Structure 1
Amino acid sequence: MPELSEVRRDHFMRAAIGCFARYGYRRTSMDVIAQAADVSRPALYQYYRNKEDVFRDAVRWGLDDLARRAQIEAGKPGETSERLAAVLSVVVDLHLPRRDGARFDAELIDETRSRAGDHWTAFEQTMVEALLTVLGRPLDDLARVLFYGAKGIAVQLDDRDEALRLLGRLTSFAVHGAPGLR
């Protein structure tokens, strides 16, 4: 198969992610992806054998982008709890509805785990490493609790502002402890 240029791959991946988020894995076809990418179906097949290949590449492309964003946030200066919240806001953004109403919902999470679990595992590990960068010491359990806590907040809420507020509270509790408890 011919090699995709970065620009063309980005174009295909944006179209594919939009389709998978909007219609789900099962209802997305190569025709739908090709239409969204404004190419013919045969043109898409030049680069991908089937829908699962497109899906796996889209998952990797999207999660790699989010992981890069998290790593950038981890490297910025600031208070620990605010930096943790900034890293974890990436998880919130992954799960919240997009402007077009599409979202990374339970069906896509299940499909990602079954069809591209290796990419999801690598993403989770990168997120934990970004959190450990902020924490500055080996607190793997705390980093994992924060990651999964952010994921839980994101999955339960459709309001980004409220999700970020709760995320701020979670990271503050993790760093400073809950007020009144001791």
Structure 2
Amino acid sequence: MARGRASNYEEQRDMILRQAATLFARYGYPSTSMNQVAEACSLSKATLYHYYRDKYSLLVSIADGHVSRLAALIDDEQALALHGEARLRHLINRIVEEYADAQNAHRVLTEDVKFLEAEDRERVLAKERHVVAGFAEAVTEMRAGQPSTHLSKPLTMLLFGMINWMFTWMKPDGELDHAAMGPIVADLFLGGISQVRLPPTS
């Protein structure tokens, strides 16, 4: 008779992914072992394999899970039917706040996607392209009627340049958290440096 899943099976899987993402982000995917993941999770290696068959399956789950949440965010925003500046600001705030709890997963997605097999890598990259397209559409709407509309894609990539590398310098105990940084990024992107304002203090 097959053993049923524990009631906390999904919670354990999520915990393992978080610990693995922390290790991959700190040491890199190639330099992290399943022994290290098991130790970080306070699990035996045999128990770890009950949840994930190998290290590669952890990498796929981290990268695909993170980018899937970002893609779902784009779909959610489209359903809100916001327009113009309100749409772009809301998108920026949402994605910056999403990164707040996913800095390790985002580093893994950024630096370790090259270790994915071709089929998995293409699936992840397709979802990344969906995210970029959602932002590019919002940027294009902001530039409606202006010349050089072909600048929408480069402008979108410059925006992601600000957002995607925040994990390299933002500290968990810093003066500004991700909730505060979202409006700052939007102010800088939409109005230039002279339009940036500090968030109100609580």
1:16 to 20, 37, 44: 20
Q: Partner of 1:72 in structure 2?
A: 76
Partner of 2:110: 109
Q: Is the 8 A contact 1:21 1:103 kept in 2?
A: yes
Aligned residues between the structures: 168
Q: Which of 135, 152, 168 does residue 161 from structure 2 map onto?
A: 152
Distance 1:33 1:77 in 2: 42
Distance 1:171 1:127, change over 3 A: farther
Provide the alpha-carbon RMSD of the alignment: 4.0
Contact 2:67 2:128 in 1 (8 A): no
Separation in structure 2 between the aligned mates of residue 75 and residue 172 of structure 1, nearest angstrom: 26
The equivalent position to 1:26 in structure 2, one of 15, 23, 30, is 30
Question: Quick one: distance in 2 between partners of 1:144 and 1:36?
Answer: 41
- Structure 2 gaps of 5+ residues are 171-177, 193-202
Maintained 8 Å contact 1:146/1:170: no
Of 145-154 and 85-94, more deviation after overlay is shown by 85-94
TM-score (norm 2): 0.59
8 Å contact kept, 1:84–1:131 = yes
1:17-40 Cα distance to aligned partner (Å, 9 max, x none): 222223322332212222333322
8 Å contact kept, 1:15–1:33: yes
Question: For the residues of structure 1 that align with 2:4 and 2:138, how far apart are their CA atoms?
Answer: 37
CA deviation after TM superposition for structure 1 residue 136, in Å: 9.2
Provide Cα deviations, 1:68-126, integer angstroms capped at 9, x if missing partner.
23332343354522322332445545777x69x85844x76232134253243122222
2:89 is matched with 85
Check the 8 A contact 1:34/1:41 in 2, yes or no. Answer: yes
Contact 1:74/1:131 (CA < 8 Å) preserved in 2?
no
Check 1:90–1:122 CA distance in 2 against 1; reply closer, same or farther (3 A cut): farther
Contact 1:85 1:167 in 2 (8 A): yes
Counterpart amino acid of residue 166 in structure 1: V
**Paired residue type of 1:110:** E
Q: How many Å separate the matches in 2 of 1:3 and 1:128? A: 41
The structure that has the greater radius of gyration is 2
Identity among equivalent positions (%) equals: 21
Deviations 1:28-60 (A, max 9, x none): 221222233332211222343421221111111
**How far apart, in 2, do the equivalents of 1:22 and 1:7 lie?**
23
Confirm whether residue 166 of structure 1 aligns to residue 167 of structure 2.
no
Single out whichever of 147-156 and 86-95 deviates more from structure 2.
86-95
In structure 2, what is the equivalent of residue 178 of structure 1? none
How far 1:153 moved relative to its partner? 0.9
Q: Which stretch of the first structure deviates more once superposed, 38-47 or 154-163?
A: 154-163
5+ long unaligned stretches in structure 1: 174-182
